[in-house]
């Protein structure tokens, strides 16, 4: 008799009130957490959603962060006496955004997005991804801003002195050099986001932790679903850290500086 059938029989026995040894109980808990009724598929779906939410949030974060960083750097590089009023307003908006998002807890932001702003929406996962993206954007904007400011000012001067305008110089000369220096930090942000997606479960986002909670509610057993979830996150993070390491080495190799 193979182990699987054995465990399902023990589970039957437990449900009908039979006595089990400690080892048998342990095996039944494991069986119910992952194998019974093909529950591992729920975790797998959860992982899929987690990765999707991470990717979507990162995309929103990078787009938002780039726009904010660009506005702030452009604003700061204006000369005294030549300030553009529109840019001043945009810069103020960006600063408020950055301050509010970075000054309030992620969890509170999620509740506000899920229960107040989008209280009538049933797309919990998407609302969660949007909230994460907006949150991430504030941090990404600081990363990108740092990258843009780290490019030697002489590069901007050289571009401008050839007669190229500000935007052309920015996009052809400064940005390409900044991208290389921010990619590792963006990779880090991706990993932080991957773990933070577990938070969206509180507003009903159906990611990995949500799947684990579903199992816990059916089996009244917490240890295996939670440890399993932790292990899955750990493996995901290790895989992505390894991939980022490869990317970083590639970048260094193509470094023309």
- Selected binder of other proteins within 12, 123, 152, 248 (CB under 8 A): 152
- We find the least distance from the C-beta atom of residue 238 to other proteins, in angstroms, to be 32
Closer to other proteins at the Cβ: 158 or 231?
Answer: 158
- We find the least distance from the C-beta atom of residue 67 to other proteins, in angstroms, to be 23
Q: Judged by CB under 8 A, does residue 163 bind other proteins?
A: yes
| CB-based contact 198:132 (threshold 8 Å) | no
Q: Which residues, 6 or more positions from 215, have their beta carbon under 8 angstroms from its beta carbon?
A: 33, 39, 42, 43, 225
Q: Judged by CB under 8 A, does residue 155 bind other proteins?
A: yes
- We find the least distance from the C-beta atom of residue 82 to other proteins, in angstroms, to be 6
Q: Looking at residue 170, what DSSP letter applies?
A: I
- We find the least distance from the C-beta atom of residue 161 to other proteins, in angstroms, to be 4
Measured CA to CA in angstroms, residue 82 lies from 88, 95, 99, 164 at distances of 11, 20, 26, 19
| CB-based contact 109:36 (threshold 8 Å) | no
What whole-number distance in Å separates Cα of residue 227 and Cα of residue 181?
36
Q: Which residues, 6 or more positions from 179, have their beta carbon under 8 angstroms from its beta carbon?
A: 147
* Binding characters for other proteins, 51-90, by CB under 8 A (x = yes): ----------------------------x-xx--------
Q: Judged by CB under 8 A, does residue 172 bind other proteins?
A: yes
Q: Judged by CB under 8 A, does residue 181 bind other proteins?
A: no
Q: Judged by CB under 8 A, does residue 154 bind other proteins?
A: yes
153 token code pair: 């000012």
- We find the least distance from the C-beta atom of residue 162 to other proteins, in angstroms, to be 4
Write out the H or E segment, with its range, that includes residue 178.
helix 175-196
- Selected binder of other proteins within 150, 168, 231, 243 (CB under 8 A): 168
CA neighbours within 13 Å on the CB side: how many for 95? 10
Q: Which stretch binds other proteins (CB under 8 A): 88-96, 130-138, 159-167, 222-230?
A: 159-167
Q: Judged by CB under 8 A, does residue 9 bind other proteins?
A: no
- We find the least distance from the C-beta atom of residue 204 to other proteins, in angstroms, to be 45
Burial call 75-100: b when 16+ CB within 10 Å, e when fewer: beeeeeeeeeeeeeebbeebeebbee
Positions that interact with other proteins (CB under 8 A): 79, 81-82, 152, 154-155, 157-165, 168, 172-173, 176-177, 180, 255-257
């Amino acid at each position: 008799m193979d182990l699987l059938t054995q465990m399902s029989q023990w589970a039957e026995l437990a449900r009908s009130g039979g006595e089990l040894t400690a080892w048998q109980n342990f095996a039944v808990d494991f069986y119910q957490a992952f194998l019974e009724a093909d529950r591992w598929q729920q975790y797998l779906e959860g992982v899929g959603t987690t990765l999707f939410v991470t990717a979507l949030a990162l995309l929103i974060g990078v787009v938002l962060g780039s726009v904010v960083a660009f506005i702030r750097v452009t604003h700061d590089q204006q000369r005294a006496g030549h300030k553009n009023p529109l840019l001043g307003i945009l810069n103020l908006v960006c600063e408020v955004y950055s301050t509010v998002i970075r000054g309030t807890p992620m969890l509170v932001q999620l509740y506000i997005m899920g229960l107040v702003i989008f209280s009538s929406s049933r797309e919990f996962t998407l609302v969660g991804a949007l909230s994460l993206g907006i949150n991430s954007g504030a941090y990404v904007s600081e990363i990108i801003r740092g990258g843009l400011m780290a490019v030697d000012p002489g590069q901007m001067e050289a571009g401008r002195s050839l007669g190229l305008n500000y935007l052309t110089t920015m996009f052809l000369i400064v940005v390409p050099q900044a991208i290389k220096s921010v990619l590792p930090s963006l990779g880090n942000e991706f990993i932080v986001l991957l773990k933070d997606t577990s938070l969206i479960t509180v507003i009903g986002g159906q990611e990995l932790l949500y799947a684990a909670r579903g199992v816990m509610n059916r089996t009244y057993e917490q240890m295996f679903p939670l440890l399993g979830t932790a292990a899955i996150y750990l493996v995901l993070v290790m895989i992505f850290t390894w991939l980022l390491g490869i990317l970083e080495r590639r970048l260094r190799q193509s470094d023309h500086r």
